[in-house]
Structure formats: structure tokens, C-alpha cells
Chains A and B, each alone.
Chain A
């Protein structure tokens, strides 16, 4: 920053490195989001993959996004990208209404979860129980918990280490498919298993 200011004072604007820069990239699934870079002086929005936005200082507006080459990305961020963790993997298991009994189809996907967990370095597995919105809060909380426990037990039986699994439950909260209260929705009678 100080060196930069000195160069500015000398009138040598060229070669003054940006203090911060941001590159927007596509997600693992190919989707590109949106990034807004703000300083005290203004903001820039990026909505396309692989432009860079640079900021020279807190009192300068961000520069308009410009192209950045894959070579430059590799030379600046190569080491950070090399240790980027793999994207977490989520499996959804479904249940018969009002019970902690897995549907037959979901039962058959348990081995795939075990295979993924075995393939994962230090798997950190979140097992989250859910219910649909039929019935009261209390009963749905209980069912979502029983479902999560049932899945944990089933996973441990197939060989997933119990210590790698953390269980939580949400009742009718955080539905996969939002519905009005009291609507039966098979896709919300679920336990999500996320391997991170």
C-alpha cells in the first residue's frame, strides 16, 4: 500500500499492482452466479465467468471487469486451487408416511453412500432428518429424528464409521419442496446424507 502510494505520488501510475482482485468462476455444476465488488467509491457487478475485477485501494472505485487468461489464473491461484476440497456429495433417502421406514428404492441406495464414504478422505457426514407438513410440530420433529437415527444405524451397519456421522433433525423445517401446512409431500419425508 505504501509502495503503491509512493509510486502514485511519483506520477507513475503504470505498474501499481491492485490491492485486491476477484475472479468470478462457474460452479462445479456449471452455473455462474453474481458477484458485486464494492469500495467507498463505487461498485462493479460481474455476472459472467472468468472476468477479473480489480481494486487499487479502499478510496478508489473498483475497475470495470476485464478478461483474465487461464495462465494468469494458474500462476496466481494455482496453489489455492490445487488444494480445493472436492464438492460435497448429497444423497436423499425417502420414507413411508408417518414412519421411519425407508422406501425400498431408498434402501437400495445405502451401498452407494457407503461406497462414496469409503472413497472420501476423512469423510464428515451430515445426516439430516426431515418430515412433510402433515401433522403437528412435535410429531414431525420426532419422526424426523427417528428417520435420521434409522439412517445413521443403517449406514453404520453397512460399515460407515459412526464417528464420521453427525445427526440433526428439522421436523417440517427446511423442506425440499415447500408446501402449505398439512400437505403430504413424499419428497419432504426424507433424510439427506451429505458427505463433506
Chain B
């Protein structure tokens, strides 16, 4: 009886973990490397730590000595140097239903991107916008610099 109870509890835990990102349903990426970097989310600004979650519509930024490296759910990576700002405007990773897109907005600073599964499966749907241009990417690594406006 006791054993069956424990089993049930274990099963409940297992089920909870099964839902992708159950604990943080909005998680689309994680911070891997960080130095004086911040996130503006829902009107509040927080300092970022290693392994912190990244969510849709986050505004990521770095200070004068800052740097940030992040990985996204599709395996793409983005890193940024000092005095940089970037917003994740769109991130859809649902390969089963062919719903795949990633749109970021590089507002200022220096960036290094490497494409992931979204770029591989839906190469037309990966876009980086800057204040002056639109960059369409077909599965590759690339660097972006945006002068402060």
C-alpha cells in the first residue's frame, strides 16, 4: 500500500516533468556566460546569472564591461559584447507542426549568432532586424554590429 502510494507520487512528479519546460513554460533559452548583463522583462530590470532562463520578448542588455552568451531551445546561440541591446520578438519552435521562426531585434552593439534547428528546418524564418536593415539568414553563423543611434 505504502509502496503503491510512493509510486503514485513518483508518477505525478514524472508527469509534471514531462511537459516541456513545465516549471518555466515560457523558457526559450538559457544564459551560458554572463558578465554585467541584464534582462528587462515585464517592466522590471534584473541582473542575469549563469543558467538563467530567457523568455520571449526579453530585452537583453550589457553594460560597458558586459558580455552575454545564450543558447536557445533549437540549439542556436547568440552572444553579445559590451553596450549591446537585443530583443527577442519571435521564437516558435514546434517542428511537429512546421511552426518555426526566430526574429530578434539588434538595437545596438556587437553580436555573434550561430543558427540552430529553426534555421535548418525553416531557413526563411530566421531574421535579425536592426534599426536600419533587415537581415535574412539561411543557416549560418554571422556577426552583426549596430551603431548606437
Contact = CB atoms under 8 A, between A and B. Distances in A.
Chain B: number of interface residues, binned into ranges: 35 or more
Given A18-B147, A20-B147, A26 B141 contact: yes
B142 A25 contact: yes
Interface of A: 1, 17-28, 31-39, 55-58, 62, 73, 76-85, 87-88, 90, 121-122, 124, 126, 145, 149, 162, 165-171, 173-174, 194, 196
Given A22-B144, A35-B140, 17 more contacts: A20-B130, A20-B144, A22-B133, A23-B144, A25-B140, A27-B140, A34-B138, A34-B139, A37-B135, A55-B133, A58-B131, A80-B110, A84-B114, A87-B114, A149-B14, A166-B20, A168-B18
Interface of B: 14, 17-18, 20-21, 30, 32-35, 50-51, 67-71, 73, 75, 77, 79-82, 84, 95-97, 106, 109-112, 114-116, 119, 123, 130-147, 149
Nearest to A32: B140
A167 B142 CA distance: 30
A33 B139 contact: yes
A177 to B, nearest CB: 14
A23 B17 CA distance: 40
A181 to B, nearest CB: 15
